[in-house]
Chains A and B, each alone.
Chain A
Amino acid sequence: MRGNEFLDKMELINPEYIEEAAKKPRSKKRRFIKWVAAAACFAAVAAISLQFFEREEPPVIIRPSENEFEEETPVPEKPTSESYESLPELLEYLGLNEIHGTEDSFIEIKGSEESYVTAEAEGIEITVQSSFAVNMTGEYAFHSGEDFVYITKLGEGKTENAGKIKGGADAVFVINEKLVLISENSSGKEKPERETSTRIRFFDISSPEEPVLSDEFVQKGALSACWLSGADIYTVTGEGVCACGFSRLDDPAGYYPSLSKNGGKIAWGDEDISILGTPERVYYSAVTVINGNNAEIAEKEAFYGNIEKIFYGAEWVAAAVCEGEKGASEVYAFGPDLGFCGKTDISEAFGDSGKTPEYSDAISVTEENGIFRIIGMHYDTEGNAALSAVSTDTQSEETFAEILTLEDYSGASVTEIQYNDNGAIICLGRTENRDNTGISLSAGFVFAEFSGSETKFHKSEITADYLNMQVGTSYGNPFGAFETLIPMGNGIFVRFSDPDEGPGGFDIFDFSSPENPLHIYDAEESLSGDDSFDYISHVYDEKTFGVLKVIHGEEVFFRDAGLSWCVFSLGEEPELLYEYPLEEDIPFYAGADSVGFGIFEAKGNLYYVMRDSECAKPLGE
Chain B
Amino acid sequence: MDDREIVGLFLARDEKAIEASSEKFGKSLRAIAFGITKDEQSAEECENDTYYEAWKSIPPHEPKSYLFAFLARITRNFALNLCRRNKRLCRSAFICELTSEMEQCIPGADDIACRIDEIAFGEAINGFLEKIGAEKRNIFIRRYWYLDSVSEIAKRFSLSESKVKTTLFRCRKKLREYLEKEGYTL
Contact = CB atoms under 8 A, between A and B. Distances in A.
Interface of A: 1-4, 6-22, 24-25, 28, 82-84, 89, 93, 97, 277-278, 280, 323-324
Contacts of B16: none
B100 A3 contact: yes
Interface string B157-186: 110111101110110000000000000001
Contact of A93 (B66, B157, B166, B186): B166
Contacts of A9: 118, 121, 125
A311 B72 CA distance: 50
27 contacts: A2-B106, A3-B102, A4-B102, A6-B99, A6-B106, A7-B99, A9-B118, A9-B121, A10-B125, A10-B144, A10-B145, A11-B76, A12-B122, A12-B126, A13-B125, A16-B66, A17-B129, A18-B69, A18-B141, A21-B138, A21-B141, A22-B69, A24-B156, A25-B135, A93-B166, A97-B169, A277-B163
B116 interface: yes
B66 A323 contact: no
A608 to B, nearest CB: 49
Given A13-B125, A19-B69, A323 B99 contact: no
Given A17-B129, A84-B170, A324-B160, 5 more contacts: A1-B106, A1-B113, A3-B101, A4-B102, A12-B118
Interface residues of B, number: 52
B144 A7 contact: yes
Nearest to B120: A12
Interface of B: 28, 63, 66, 68-70, 72-73, 76-77, 80, 95, 98-103, 105-106, 113-116, 118, 121-122, 125-126, 129, 134-135, 137-138, 141-142, 144-146, 156-158, 160-163, 165-167, 169-170, 186
The 6 A-B residue pairs with the shortest CB-CB distance in the complex, in nearest-first order: A15-B69, A3-B99, A12-B122, A15-B66, A324-B160, A3-B102
A13 B121 CA distance: 9
B1 to A, nearest CB: 17
A12 B102 CA distance: 15
A3 to B, nearest CB: 3
A13 B129 contact: yes
B171 to A, nearest CB: 11
A19 to B, nearest CB: 5
Contact of B106 (A3, A18, A21): A3
Contact of A6 (B103, B157, B163): B103
Contacts of A25: 135, 138, 156-158
Contacts of B73: 11, 15, 18
A7 B98 contact: yes
Contacts of B169: 93, 97
Given A12-B121, A324-B161, A1 B186 contact: yes
A175 B73 CA distance: 70
Given A13-B129, A19-B68, A28 B158 contact: yes
A28 B113 CA distance: 42
Contacts of A84: 166, 170
A97 B165 contact: yes
A89 B173 CA distance: 11
Contacts of B115: 1
A323 B160 contact: yes
Contacts of B68: 18-19, 22
B105 A7 contact: no
Given A4-B99, A7-B144, A13-B141, A18 B129 contact: no
A97 B170 CA distance: 12
Contact of A13 (B106, B113, B126, B135): B126
A32 to B, nearest CB: 20
Contact of B80 (A8, A83, A277): A8
Nearest to A90: B166
Nearest to A23: B138
Contact of B77 (A2, A11, A19): A11
A149 B144 CA distance: 63
A21 B145 contact: yes
Nearest to B105: A6
A19 B63 CA distance: 13
Contacts of B70: 15
A3 B80 CA distance: 13
A24 to B, nearest CB: 7
B68 to A, nearest CB: 6
Contacts of A324: 160-162
A84 to B, nearest CB: 7
Given A21-B146, A28-B158, A278 B103 contact: no
Given A10-B144, A12-B125, A83-B167, A2 B162 contact: no
B163 A83 contact: yes
A3 B66 CA distance: 27
Contacts of A3: 98-103, 106
Given A9-B125, A15-B63, A82 B101 contact: no
A2 B101 CA distance: 11
A24 B146 CA distance: 13
B141 A323 contact: no
A304 to B, nearest CB: 13
B163 A323 contact: yes
Contacts of A89: 170
A278 B163 contact: yes
B44 to A, nearest CB: 20
A255 B163 CA distance: 22
B63 A83 contact: no
B66 A20 contact: no
